Structure 1
Amino acid sequence: MYLTQRSDDRRLTMPTNLRLCWKEARPMVQGIFALRFCCAALLANHHTNGAVWAKVAGVLGCWVAATWAIYLLNGIADVVEDRENGSIRPIARGALPVDQAKSVVVALAAGAVGVAALISPIVCLLVVLHLAAGIGYSTGPRPLKGNVPGFLGAVVALGGLTYLCGWYASGATEIGAPLLLFGGAMSLWMAFGGATKDLSDAAGDRLAGRRTLPVVLGDRAARLAMAIGASAVGWGFLLTALVWAPSVVPVAIVVCAGSIALAIVVTGNMSRGERFCRRRPYGTFMITQYAAHLTLLVSLAFR
């Protein structure tokens, strides 16, 4: 049983509140968003050699705050599903009062927008659009998370805006082919690979009325669709990079290999059974993301 009423009646100290809010926002997800931003900034600097790193750091701070707010809000909005699915995140298990989490969301969002406005109007616009996509994903009369097209659109937008903001923060004025291909492919990877999370959350999604792939198609067909989608991104990225952007071919090879691994895992018996097993495709997706971005950083360092 979750002690939700007791947790909502007590007040946490600020350090404890912030620590739990950070944990609720999924540090691994926060880390990959920061890495996306940094990869785009470094890729832009490689082409322009004009980055002002103090500005880049300031914009990154705004982006981290906004992303933290987005995923903390998602935890607040997903409490019914999370409890049904047996999540151990702080809000679901009653360790983090919802009212205190909401206060942190407001403070983070306001701080991100306020500081971004001091940096430049374009940065402020990008942060506002990022927050709007995240808020639309989790809340409102028809949250985007509740259906497949909405999920795909919101996730691609969150990824694309992150790469675009990192690129702009470095002082680039035009979007080059490497960023367009890398950012586009990895944003699509977020959508098609990230959908594998729904395999372990189907029970809670049904309870909340969400129309995810496993709910709409059933488990077997959803797995096949996820394997096809991830494979299309991986192979499409590699073939396009070979023709249009050789500089990101090493990254494309990693993503293509990850798509093969994900297809094997998601359609095999190793990802069936207990919730831990059903999370394996999502784990493969996340490992591929981190490996791809770290590969880009290494390749840039040796140019």
Structure 2
Amino acid sequence: MAIDSTTSGHHWNTKPYRIVNLARTLRLCFVESRPFVQFMFALRFVAASALAAPPFASIPSTAWIDYAVALAAWFLTTVCVYLMNGIADGENDRINGVGRPISRGALDPRDAATVVQLTAVVALLLGLHIGISMAALVLAFLTLGYLYSMPPTQLSRSWFGSSAIVTLGGLCTYLAGGVAIRAQLTPDPVVFAVAMSLWMGLVGAVVKDFSDVAGDRAAQRRVLTLLVGEMPLRKSVAAATCGVATGLAVGASHLPSLQCACIPMLFGAAIVVGYTLTTRYRDPRPVSRRPYRAFMITQMAANVGALISGVPV
């Protein structure tokens, strides 16, 4: 009896520990998935909804529950994909001094892999609750994430594969925002989605590597930062930045709903160009990271502008 009592007591006492340990693992998994990136994906999703079906006030109250489920499905989808990427890039992140949980040894990759599987399943189930279109987009984004990060493809190791996956992932996100609101396809969200996805694929997918040259070289990745001379690449990125911003400006001249997004895009593009041409790979990480931070803030401002366009005043 004493043995049974001790065993039972020990089992009882471990329950709070397991709960705390689970909560810690989930928190670290979320940190590994890059909270600001998750915020940006949610913002893209909502901005697409705002442009596709303005004003939000016209949406029936009963539809908001399904919309929240769709947003939750997309949130879990993007968390899954970026956590998967964190598992694949653990060693690179350690070399580059990124400091995320897996690279610093705070999160076991096996625990992260379990969370990847669970979030993928739940995201697909929530997507099916909304409809086949949403489930198909969830599956497409998960597939893109797997192709980007995991062997044998690991498209993140090539500049073309990386840019293509990032661009397609952006398009999937904006399309999912439209599907969630059950809106008709109109030029406004299409032009915005294409412009912002190209912003991600032609600008963001390149400038994010400016601070990761050491890790990319160690991993033998065929990214542009290692294939092209530094200044030619930086000048090309500056040209692409100006091209995408100009394209959105042309669209906004014909579609007034895009003007709120166009203004911050033009200002932000100028800052991205300035940082791109004045920083160098060898700079300390906080400095070499400036073009990417400017890229992220610019796209945040542009998406907020698009969201404002769909809010009744």
Q: Answer whether TM exceeds 0.5 for this pair.
A: yes
Indicate if the aligned counterparts of 1:126 and 1:161 stay in contact, CA closer than 8 A: yes
- Aligned residue identity for 1:143: Q
2:54 counterpart SS class = helix
Q: Percent identity?
A: 37
Taking the aligned partners of 1:220 and 1:270, their CA distance within structure 2 comes to 9
Taking the aligned partners of 2:286 and 2:295, their CA distance within structure 1 comes to 15
Indicate if the aligned counterparts of 1:271 and 1:279 stay in contact, CA closer than 8 A: no
The corresponding residue for 2:151 is: 140
Taking the aligned partners of 2:247 and 2:115, their CA distance within structure 1 comes to 40
- Uncovered stretches (5+) of structure 2, i.e. residues with no partner: 1-17
Taking the aligned partners of 2:312 and 2:54, their CA distance within structure 1 comes to 11
The corresponding residue for 1:32 is: 40
Q: Does 1:206 align with 2:214?
A: no
The corresponding residue for 2:260 is: 250
Alignment of 1:75-86 (within 5 A): 75-86=86-97
Taking the aligned partners of 1:108 and 1:157, their CA distance within structure 2 comes to 21
The corresponding residue for 2:10 is: none
- Aligned residue identity for 2:131: S
Question: CA-atom RMSD, angstroms?
Answer: 1.7
Q: Does 1:176 align with 2:189?
A: no
Taking the aligned partners of 2:308 and 2:191, their CA distance within structure 1 comes to 18
User: Computing the radius of gyration over CA atoms, which structure comes out larger, 1 or 2?
Assistant: 2
The corresponding residue for 1:104 is: 115
1:301 counterpart SS class = coil
Taking the aligned partners of 1:179 and 1:268, their CA distance within structure 2 comes to 34
The offset of 1:271, in angstroms, is 7.7
2:102 counterpart SS class = coil
Taking the aligned partners of 1:44 and 1:178, their CA distance within structure 2 comes to 7
> Which of 112, 122, 127 is residue 138 of structure 2 equivalent to?
127
So what's the TM-score if we normalise by structure 1? 0.91
- Uncovered stretches (5+) of structure 1, i.e. residues with no partner: 1-10
CA offsets 1:238-270 (integer angstroms, 9 cap, x no match): 123213x22202211211221111011110148
The offset of 1:44, in angstroms, is 2.1
The corresponding residue for 1:260 is: 270
CA offsets 1:5-61 (integer angstroms, 9 cap, x no match): xxxxxx981000001000000000000000011111122221794462111110100
The corresponding residue for 2:26 is: 18
The corresponding residue for 1:73 is: 84
- Aligned residue identity for 2:286: F
So what's the TM-score if we normalise by structure 2? 0.89
- Aligned residue identity for 1:27: P
The offset of 1:299, in angstroms, is 3.1
- Aligned residue identity for 2:250: L
More relative contact order, 1 or 2 (CA 8 Å, 6+ apart): 2
The offset of 1:105, in angstroms, is 0.3
Q: Does 1:298 align with 2:308?
A: yes
How many residue pairs get matched? 291
